[in-house]
Structure 1
Amino acid sequence: MKKILLVDDHSIVRSGLRNLIDLENDMRVEDEAASGNEAIQKVRKQKFDIVVLDISMPNKNGVDTLHDLKRVAPDLPVLILSGYAEQQYALNLIRSGCKGYLSKDADPDEIIKAIRTICAGRLYISSALAELMASELMQPSDKLLHETLSDREFQVFFKLATGKSVTEIGEELFISVKTVSTYRARILEKMNMKTNADLTYYAIKNELIN
């Protein structure tokens, strides 16, 4: 029986997923968390076979939560289940260590299949993600600008785009202001942009933030 931790700030989403999973005889929802911080606390105290994680959450978003989970429990697999389509986040988060990515409009059968696949120790590649990966291999020059960023650069980019200051980012990531400033300069250079406002506009235009 595979033990699942559901992490989503909307109780109705967690309830729907729980009802779906309860129909299966080889898995169960062991616990739920409404925030990234709560998820980290539960993972420190309990044993789970997989975390099903949302991206858009207050205080600690799914990008940061994934990073923290990889630090706290490196072998615990994570399935991202997000309202954002695959082309917006999937490649970056696969690089960050998640084992699968699905949008919330995926068929219920596919969500169950993804959980089973990941619990069996494999990466779950949806058809949409497979297409993205093939496109990257065939035409690497066609990458979106944010897909050229490293794992840590993407994390800092996401925070800058949502309006956080260099000081706030340093405190949240436990790195110096100087280090954050270095990342910021590198991000602006890679994306050929000049200001944080440019990053925010890009993120909104590409539906990375609402």
Structure 2
Amino acid sequence: MKIRLLLVDDHQVVRSGLRMLLGGESDVEIVGEAGTAKEALEAAPKLRPNIVLMDIGLPDMSGIEATSEIKRLYPEIAVVALTIHEDEEYFFKMLEVGANGYVPKRAAPEELLTAIRAAAAGEVYLYPSLAKLLVKDFLAQERTSGEAAGLDGLTDREQEVLKY
């Protein structure tokens, strides 16, 4: 069964490049394109893609907001972010709203295909350098919650003494 893909990016040249890159794959069918979040939200129920390849920087609303709406309305559709943004803020926000993958635009074509195929199989794909951010954040939270849990066993007076 072919992976039905909807391309969402506000730059026509990017969508054309993706169409050329992905169109030759035997297991991928590009069912449509959208240049805005509004177009993507209108196209999703009509075209029934398995995967939406979503840019974050769209002119009418962010790809984060669009992903949130798509996941709310059509939870069976997987969303893979393809973006220039590689900082923690965008990465974590996309994961919070339900993105199934996150790939920077500088990634090799094979990485993008791996992400698309993983999302189509119900998996989550994180670009390796961004996966490190997730692990780092998790470990920081574990340390913080571990320290807090350690203080819970102390009396109020013992905690007061430790603060000074």
TM-score (norm 1): 0.64
CA–CA separation in structure 2 for the residues paired with 1:66 and 1:116: 18
For 1:130 and 1:64, locate their aligned partners in 2 and report how far apart those are by CA, in whole Å: 22
1:1-210 equivalences under 5 Å are 1-140=2-141
CA–CA distance in structure 1, aligned partners of residues 91 and 141 of structure 2: 16
Cα deviations across residues 114-166 of structure 1 (Å, max 9, x unaligned)?
A: 10111011011221122011101222399xxxxxxxxxxxxxxxxxxxxxxxx
How many matched pairs?
142
Q: Does the CA-based 8 Å contact 1:7-1:52 persist in structure 2?
A: yes
Instruction: Check conservation: 1:86, 1:128, Cα contact below 8 A.
Output: no
Percent of aligned pairs with the same amino acid: 34
* More relative contact order, 1 or 2 (CA 8 Å, 6+ apart): 2
Range 66-75 or range 32-41, more displaced: 66-75
More strand by share: 2
What are structure 2's unaligned runs of at least 5 residues? 144-164
Name the CA shift for 1:122/1:86 in 2 (closer, same or farther; >3 Å). Answer: farther
Measured after TM superposition, the shift of residue 68 of structure 1 is 1.1
- Cα separation, 1, equivalents of 2:63 and 2:140: 28
Task: Report which of the two structures shows the higher radius of gyration computed on alpha carbons.
Answer: 2
Structure 2: distance between partners of 1:86 and 1:122 = 22
Alpha-carbon distance in structure 2 between the residues aligned to 1:94 and 1:109: 22
SS at match of 1:57: coil
CA RMSD of aligned residues (A): 1.5
CA deviations over 1:84-122 (Å, ceiling 9, x no partner): 114341122111100011111111110011101110110
SS of the residue 1:25 aligns to: coil
Structure 1 gaps, min length 5 = 143-210
In 2, Cα distance between the equivalents of 1:68 and 1:106? 26
1:27 to 1:97, Cα distance in 2 relative to 1, 3 A: same
Moved segments of 4+, more than 6 Å: none
Is residue 80–residue 101 contact of structure 1 (8 Å, CA) maintained in 2? yes
